[in-house]
Structure 1
Amino acid sequence: MKVPFTWKVTGWFVIGWSAEFPIGESRALHYLGEELAAYRDEAGELHLLTAHCRHLGAHIGHGGKVVGDCIECPFHGWRWGPDGTNRYIPYQPDRPNRALTLRVYPVREQHGVVFMWYQPEGKEPQWELPDIFTKFPEFDGDPDDYYRPFPEFSRRAENEPVHPQIVAENGPDSSHFRYVHGASVTPVCLNWEMVDNEWRFLTGWPDVRSDDPEKMSLRIHSHFSGLGFAISLFEGAQNHRLIFACTPVDDERSDLFYSIWWPRNAGDESDVPPEDVRALVERRFLVTVFEDLNIWRYQQYVEKPPLAKVDAAPYMAMRQWAKQFYEVPPAGQAASTA
């Protein structure tokens, strides 16, 4: 997908689920055009560093050994700490090279999901990571009242030709539900607003059993935190929550992540959902992201779309809001000197 803006987007991005990063193991990742090495130290803390050892360039995510809170290069045993500094050289143990450092990427784990902060120049996080269980204070939410999201209610699609802004633009687009998802009722946008790094919108599904056009059978409260992901709460029969995320891999592709928190059945104290609940969520909710993906894979970005009046204001407002997360020019385009 060719777009007129960078894929090196500033913000919080999902890179996996906590269960995928066991204690004492390293893992190679590639996101936002960067080679990365993740490891969970012996105390259980997760760290994310740039991947290539500053000694002779070995990739520490491939075969790196966790020693205490450090990761040891598989080539010559140089150890790097969670702050990115060289901590130990085996053949000169009293003289680590303090001048050499690896870039450290802030990571956060929240309810089983792993997020990284990315800013092209390495600046610290510019806003706090929102919590899906406190983001909507008007609705009670305790993580212990929900089944675990991973692995049963989580999905990943890898290396898809989709830019995060395309995913975000799905939010104010209510008309596509009938055609992409087979909805029998067309939802309506009840409210939308921009608050700093957040795009917030409320979507309603009219109650076809009522003569009152204002009565809704379902409301979906959604907040985008930058362009990296949206958190949503469904106010209706199920009252579940979800995160849908799009994380650029390079300048052409992204990985998409989807997790659902489904309320536990009354009296069920297990984290693991029963089979009937798993089947219901799979059939009704987990497939929807792939219905959208079948459109996005082949979509062409239109810079000046001839929008219908009902969608024009929120759609174009979102595009204007998104500009704040592009702090570098697109690949191959020089930065402005003006």
Structure 2
Amino acid sequence: MPPSIPSPTLRIPIELLTQFSFSQFGTVIENPTTSPAPPSARLPPPPSVLANQNTALKYLDVTHMSDLYSLAPSRKPAHAAMNMFVCSPRDLRPHEPVASMPSSWGDIDFDDESGDGDAGSRTLFDVHILERHPFTTQTFIPLGIGAAEQTQYLVIVAPTLPASRHRTDKHPPYPTPERAKKRRSVREIFARARPSPFSNEAAPPASSYSRLHPSQRPKGPGLPDLRNVRAFVASGKQAVTYGAGTWHAPMVVLGEEAVDFVVVQFVNGVGIEDCQEVELKVDERAEEGITVAVDTDVRGRVVVKAGPGAVKAKL
């Protein structure tokens, strides 16, 4: 059983999945010319070149993969793995009026009936568990669903609290920039001097972490920040990469059909190093814990309630 942490009572509105809004958690893989994000929320597209005898436009480095297992306590090397997850649609429960709201979005009225006039449905998804993969990125690539179909999926993530917020002296395995201190040779000591006696460098070399793309850098060993959980809705034309150590819920598929995901990550076979989980424990006096409010229109498409394109934007 995973360890449990107290869960607040919060309702989370759904945002549109864009690289602009998701950048602190990882990367979004999509064709930039068909992105559902409004123009104000789009980042510059990645560099591109012509390929396939000029019949294809090749976008470069659309996501960033990390293998940080060299920093794992076991020192066991990892290998790249491609698995398939066949994810069935999740059970949602009927909407119930509530006054709670996520702290990251302030005063959002979940019971507001205003909109574009569509008489859709209101349901709720309860978040019971979060997980992270501290030494690797994890990319979910959906297969066989198009943007025009009703099948969509939710990407639910949480920031990481500072490690000092832990109420325990024992942290789970997590990559750190420095290993245990060891005796250094005279050459190693002088090599850190600037200017270096062995080269023309005037500044110390960048740390291994600073050379990583921001989405690749570990988030720290802290617990998830449950008061700032966020939920994004993705279409079949979008894949997502969770950055190393990003707290996230297991995949949440909406609609009536299962979605096949090809999942790309690194693994070394050591359970606590490959995946760490926490269970969200709801207080006995509370009616619910962390819940994502899922509003859909008459076509079954999710209505975006927060962030750029809220209410008007539908995938």
> What TM-score, normalized by structure 2, do the two folds share?
0.28
Higher relative contact order (CA 8 A, sep 6+): 2
> What TM-score, normalized by structure 1, do the two folds share?
0.26
